[in-house]
């Protein structure tokens, strides 16, 4: 008998969607057409889709039932009030403005709070978040701990903020040039790594000392809460809902891509406690998204979101969700695949620098590896390295991030353990033949968020 019992998914499957199988020869053709960018593949060319956990979750029967209760009034939809209740109850923020997705919230917040020449410290950048800060005239400064940039450090809270780095930002630029500190739960680009409650409390004390706001990127807050429950002293008997509420209580405002934690296919919001900020944001949302009671969403989407928020903090759900990610990570780790450790909460991140040590970073090793995994098995993954990092705005040179990663992102409640086994076998098979991977040349580079649409060709 095993010391601990196995866990299983806390649901059964009511409806299925067929997957598309293809041959390696077909996939090589599809890749060429897609410019070796997995974002440019058609979904029907993909077998197991681990591109992202964003908007790809399976909704529950309760969420689908909620969709049928959509109140599609232009103003004052009943579903908005359900969503507002859920945000207040589970996250504790007083005011909420719906947006079509996370970047809609980032846009509005950045335009209101950031002035030209401002500096925004954060626990590592996220692509859309940093771009909106820059477009508003700000500069992002990374204040995450050094361990986060080290794929082999097994520190449990690699999402933590380095308070000395934060202090240096304030000493260099002055607190008046820092409109807010951006704290993400969990940190996506570091490999889905959590921040500890203790660290967040320290950031809160720092922010209070200088009168600076904390903005919470709460995209995966329930996943972060699970890691606190499992690994931080004093939290093992606290519920996920209690921990989520405590995290939010340490921050002043939040941007949310509800397409992740909150189990919906589209949606997001901006939340805050300050009535003045709420007033400004609810005025701006009508310019870019829609009225402040729908913000670009249909009533039915807000209903699914209200229900999804409640489901996202259920212990059994989050345990199975992160359990599946850990299971895939463990299989790959045992097979000797170089990974970001500890294994994160929303995906397994392969360290492409160690997987392909013979491919220089400006030959885009992670992009090349993602293409090769797709060619091998039809499993779609995503680059999170030099292509995602973009260029330095001042010099125009590539940003060379420490982390050059391929992300195997697990959608919530979608795939089974057997799918995870097929994925692991494909990665191992590519690893065995890794010497033949040469890297890529970028032949088209868009101006913004280049990773979405850039095109490549293989280096011969
Ligand atoms: N994240 C992801 O796949 C989708 C866009 S990039 C491929 O990980 C954080 C931490 C995110 C995030 C999106 C957004 C933006 C903000 N913060 O995609 O606009 O992970 O809803 O959210 C993606 P939206």
pLDDT, tens digit (0-9, with 9 covering 90-100), for 308-331: 999 999 999 999 999 999 999 999
**pLDDT recorded at residue 194:** 98
pLDDT, tens digit (0-9, with 9 covering 90-100), for 38-89: 999 999 999 999 999 999 999 999 999 999 999 999 999 999 999 999 999 9
d(CA 127, CA 203): 23
Task: Give percent of the chain above pLDDT 90.
Answer: 97
Q: Is 210 a catalytic residue?
A: no
- Whole-number Å distance, alpha carbon 251 to ligand 1 midpoint, is 20
Ligand 1 pocket member 426 (CB < 6 A): no
Residue 460 has pLDDT above 90, yes or no: no
Across residues 5-33, what is the average pLDDT? Answer: 94
Ligand 1, residue 53: give the atom nearest the CA: 3
Domains 24-53+315-458 and 61-312 share a fold: no
Fold topology of 24-53+315-458: 3.90.1150
Closest to 389 in 3D by CA, of 327, 305, 451: 451
Across residues 325-349, what is the average pLDDT? Answer: 98
The full set of domain ranges for the chain reads 24-53+315-458, 61-312
- Out of 124, 128, 194, give the residue to mutate to test ligand 1, the one with the largest number of ligand atoms within 8 Å of its CB: 128
Burial 154-171 (b: 16+ CB within 10 A, else e): eebbbbbbbeebbeebbe
Catalytic position from the list 30, 36, 47, 126: 126
- In eight-state DSSP terms, residue 80 is H
**pLDDT recorded at residue 12:** 95
Q: Is 74 a catalytic residue?
A: yes
Residue 104's Cβ-side half-sphere holds a number of Cα atoms within 13 Å equal to: 27
Task: Give percent of the chain above pLDDT 70.
Answer: 99
**pLDDT recorded at residue 2:** 61
Residue 1 has pLDDT above 60, yes or no: no
Ligand 1 pocket member 259 (CB < 6 A): yes
Catalytic position from the list 91, 278, 451, 456: 451
348's enclosing H/E stretch is strand 347-351
- Whole-number Å distance, alpha carbon 433 to ligand 1 midpoint, is 32
**pLDDT recorded at residue 4:** 74
Would you say 196 and 181 are in contact if contact means Cβ atoms under 8 Å apart?
no
d(CA 422, CA 343): 19
Residue 3 has pLDDT above 90, yes or no: no
pLDDT, tens digit (0-9, with 9 covering 90-100), for 178-227: 999 999 999 999 999 999 999 999 999 999 999 999 999 999 999 999 99
DSSP per-residue string spanning 358-414? TS-GGG-HHHHHHHHHHHHHSEE-EEESHHHH-B-TTT-PBP--S--EEEEE--TT-
- Out of 188, 222, 389, give the residue to mutate to test ligand 1, the one with the largest number of ligand atoms within 8 Å of its CB: 188
pTM of the predicted protein model: 0.97
Torsion, Cα 40 43 48 52, to 10 degrees, reads 60
Fold topology of 61-312: 3.40.640
**pLDDT recorded at residue 6:** 79
Residue 393 has pLDDT above 60, yes or no: yes
- Whole-number Å distance, alpha carbon 257 to ligand 1 midpoint, is 7
When the pLDDT of each residue in the chain is averaged and rounded to a whole number, the result is 97
Ligand 1 pocket member 345 (CB < 6 A): no
Ligand 1 pocket member 338 (CB < 6 A): no
**pLDDT recorded at residue 409:** 98
Ligand 1, residue 184: give the atom nearest the CA: 10
Q: Is 260 a catalytic residue?
A: yes
At 84, is the secondary structure helix, strand, or coil?
helix
Q: Is 49 a catalytic residue?
A: no
**pLDDT recorded at residue 394:** 85
Rounded alpha-carbon distances, angstroms, from residue 164 to 138, 202, 351: 21, 11, 28
């Amino acid at each position: 008998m095993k010391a601990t019992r196995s866990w299983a998914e806390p649901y059964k499957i009511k409806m299925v969607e067929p997957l598309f199988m293809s041959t390696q020869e077909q996939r090589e053709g599809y890749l060429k057409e897609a410019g070796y960018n997995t974002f440019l593949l058609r979904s029907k060319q993909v077998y197991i889709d681990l591109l992202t956990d964003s908007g790809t979750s399976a909704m529950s029967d309760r969420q689908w039932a909620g969709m049928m209760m959509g109140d599609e009034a232009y103003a004052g939809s009943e579903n908005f009030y359900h969503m507002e209740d859920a945000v207040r109850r589970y996250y504790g923020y007083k005011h909420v403005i719906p947006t079509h997705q996370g970047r809609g919230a980032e846009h509005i917040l950045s335009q209101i709070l950031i002035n030209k020449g401002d500096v925004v410290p954060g626990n590592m950048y996220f692509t859309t978040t940093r771009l909106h800060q820059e477009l508003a005239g700000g500069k992002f400064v990374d204040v995450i701990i050094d361990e986060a940039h080290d794929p082999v450090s097994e520190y449990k809270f690699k999402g933590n903020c380095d308070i000395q780095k934060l202090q240096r930002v304030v000493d260099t630029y002055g607190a008046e040039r820092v409109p807010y500190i951006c704290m993400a739960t969990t940190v996506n680009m570091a490999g889905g790594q959590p921040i500890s409650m203790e660290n967040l409390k320290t950031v809160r004390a720092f922010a209070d000392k200088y009168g600076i706001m904390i903005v919470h990127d709460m995209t995966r807050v329930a996943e972060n809460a699970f890691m606190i429950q499992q690994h931080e002293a004093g939290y093992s008997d606290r519920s996920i809902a209690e921990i989520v509420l405590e995290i939010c209580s340490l921050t002043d405002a939040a941007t949310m891509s509800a397409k992740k934690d909150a189990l919906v296919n589209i949606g997001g919001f901006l939340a805050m406690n300050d009535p003045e900020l709420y007033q400004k944001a609810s005025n701006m949302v009508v310019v870019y998204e829609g009225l402040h009671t729908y913000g670009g969403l249909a009533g039915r989407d807000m209903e699914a979101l209200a229900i999804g928020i409640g489901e996202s903090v259920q212990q059994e759900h989050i345990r199975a969700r992160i359990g599946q990610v850990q299971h895939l990570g463990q299989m790959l780790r045992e097979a000797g695949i170089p990974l970001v450790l500890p294994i994160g909460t929303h995906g397994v991140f392969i360290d492409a620098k160690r997987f392909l040590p013979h491919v220089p970073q400006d030959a885009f090793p992670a992009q090349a590896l993602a293409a090769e995994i797709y060619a091998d098995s039809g499993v779609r993954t995503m680059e999170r390295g030099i292509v995602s990092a973009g260029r330095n705005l001042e010099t125009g040179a590539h940003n060379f991030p420490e982390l050059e990663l391929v992300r195997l992102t697990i959608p919530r409640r979608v795939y089974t353990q057997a799918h995870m086994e097929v994925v692991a076998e494909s990665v191992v098979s590519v690893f065995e033949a890794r010497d033949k991977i040469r890297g890529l040349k970028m032949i088209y580079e868009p101006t913004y968020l280049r990773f979405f649409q850039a095109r490549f060709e293989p280096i011969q």
